[in-house]
């Protein structure tokens, strides 16, 4: 794995390869980094609860002589002490495979990396002397959301016993403490000192500064994982082809919803909005791209959406942009919550990649601010 001819980068993931954005937000940017730097070698480390088969990994990680995949075991989370076995696993890797840069996705992976580096420096102080290549080691922590607030958001509406409610508060507070420890400004006694943070939005950057005392100088906005804009001529070709394929009238005004059927995605709001639009414009058409076809079909009937003006299909991820091109507008509604306000929804980026106008309900700061400029 280690080759001193290359600059070694460790990219650490704690939310698993099963994450819906793993391919678009992790693999694609890493492959692009390799293509732009022939002297770079990347080791992708993912902590998983279950061992993954070679067949599954082959479908997720492309074969590349400078991209390596390592699966480490992840214990159930019950506080920061449950992360210590992960720290030990990473420490063992760092002992045997030196690297110049570590990137982590999220605060949990960041905390694991920070702890491992600290222990490595204590164990092998000579490896971190001023003239050592590892002295230049920098940790970049990708802030993709708010761990504690997302946990709170996912559980606060659940009806549960007082014991479970206590447990939810304990885990939420534990996540908050880890986030503070990872994102806060470094003290002169801290090691390592060279830590940078990538935030996905200005709103998230402001939140990290205000709530975790993050150093503004150390925070940059993430751009590497934003999809490239597709040429408008290609979009036009796809639009005509897909509309013919799906029997959508060429003169229809197509609204698109792309995503799963989740309560926090305000599906009823989306369908009510479209029904209102259809009463104003009979040429309005709703295209739903989702694997949850049956759930959407039932919701469409319950919300009295005209079936002849709606199509629900499931497509493979690599065909996404082609089918999005059939639309004129992308719809993105979210509940009013800090979790959504600081976010940079992947679906928003996908809509923007093919030049779709986005209809939203002013709950995502990125969209609200972009309309002011």
Q: Which residue carries 């507070």 as its tokens?
A: 173
Half-sphere exposure of 265 (CA within 13 A, CB side): 16
Percentage of the chain beyond pLDDT 90 is 71
Highest mean pLDDT among 5-19, 92-106, 343-357: 343-357
Return the number of other C-beta atoms located less than 10 Å from residue 49's C-beta: 10
Burial grade of 340 (CB within 10 A; 0-12, 13-18, 19 or more): buried
219 token code pair: 């925070």
Would you say 333 and 268 are in contact if contact means Cβ atoms under 8 Å apart? no
At 30-66, the pLDDT tens digits run 999 999 999 999 999 999 998 888 888 888 888 899 9
Into which CATH architecture does domain 7-221 fall? 3-Layer(aba) Sandwich (3.40)
Q: Do domains 7-221 and 232-370 have the same CATH topology?
A: yes
Which tokens go with 89?
């696993």
Q: Which residues of 109-133 are buried (b: 16+ CB within 10 A; e: fewer)?
A: bbbbbbbbbebbbeeeeebbeeeee
For domain 232-370, the CATH class is: alpha beta
Q: What is the pTM (predicted TM-score) of this model?
A: 0.90
Please name every residue paired with 294 in a beta bridge, in sequence order, or none if there are none: none
- Beta-bridge partner residues of 11: 44, 103
Question: Are the beta carbons of 144 and 106 closer than 8 angstroms?
Answer: yes
Q: What band does 373 get if pLDDT is binned at 50, 70 and 90? A: low
Q: Where are the domains of the chain?
A: 7-221, 232-370
Q: Which residues contact 167 (CB under 8 A, 6 or more apart)?
A: none
- For the segment 324-362, what is each residue's pLDDT rounded down to a tens digit? 999 999 999 999 999 999 999 999 999 999 999 999 999
pLDDT at residue 165 in the model: 92
| Composition of the chain by helix, strand, coil, percent to 5 | 50, 20, 35
Query: Which of 16, 26, 146, 19 shows the shortest CA–CA distance to 72?
Result: 16
List phi, psi (to 5°) of 203.
-65, -40
Helix or strand or coil: residue 73?
strand
Residue 111: closest CA among 83, 82, 142: 83
Within 8 A by CB and 6+ apart from 229, the residues are 352, 353, 355
C-alpha 41, offset from chain centre: 23
Provide the pLDDT for residue 136.
45
Q: What is the pLDDT of residues 262-287, one digit of tens each?
A: 878 899 999 999 999 999 999 999 99
pLDDT at 131: 54
> Does 244 have pLDDT greater than 80?
yes
């Amino acid at each position: 794995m280690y080759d001193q001819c290359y600059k070694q980068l460790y990219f650490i993931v704690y939310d698993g390869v099963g994450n819906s954005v793993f391919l678009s937000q992790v693999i694609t940017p890493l492959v692009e980094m390799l293509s732009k730097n022939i002297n770079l070698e990347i080791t992708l480390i993912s902590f998983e609860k279950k061992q993954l088969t070679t067949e599954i990994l082959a479908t997720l990680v492309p074969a590349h002589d400078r991209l390596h995949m390592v699966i480490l075991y992840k214990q159930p989370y019950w506080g920061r002490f449950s992360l210590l076995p992960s720290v030990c696993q990473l420490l063992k890797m760092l002992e045997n495979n030196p690297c110049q840069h570590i990137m982590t996705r999220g605060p949990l992976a960041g905390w694991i990396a920070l702890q491992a580096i600290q222990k490595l420096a204590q164990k092998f102080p000579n490896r971190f002397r001023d003239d050592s290549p590892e002295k230049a080691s920098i940790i970049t922590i990708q802030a993709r959301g708010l761990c504690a607030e997302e946990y709170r958001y996912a559980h606060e509406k659940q009806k549960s016993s007082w014991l479970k409610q206590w447990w939810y508060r304990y885990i939420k507070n534990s996540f908050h403490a880890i986030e503070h420890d990872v994102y806060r400004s470094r003290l002169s006694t801290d090691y390592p000192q060279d830590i940078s943070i990538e935030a996905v939005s200005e709103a998230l950057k402001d939140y990290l500064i205000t709530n975790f005392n993050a150093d503004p100088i150390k925070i940059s906005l993430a751009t590497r994982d934003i999809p490239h804009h597709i040429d408008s001529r290609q979009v036009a070709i796809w639009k005509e082809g897909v509309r013919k394929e799906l029997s959508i009238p060429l003169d229809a005004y197509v609204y698109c919803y792309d995503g799963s059927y989740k309560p926090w995605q305000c599906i009823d709001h989306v369908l009510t909005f479209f029904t209102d639009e259809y009463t104003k414009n009979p040429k309005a058409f709703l295209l739903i791209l989702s694997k949850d076809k049956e759930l959407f079909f039932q919701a469409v009937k319950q919300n009295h959406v005209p079936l002849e003006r709606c199509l629900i299909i499931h497509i493979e991820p690599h065909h996404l942009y082609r089918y999005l091109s059939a639309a004129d507008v992308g719809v993105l509604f979210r509940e009013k919550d800090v979790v959504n306000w600081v976010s940079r929804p992947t679906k928003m980026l996908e809509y923007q990649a093919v030049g779709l106008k986005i209809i939203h309900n002013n709950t995502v700061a990125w969209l609200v601010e972009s309309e002011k400029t």
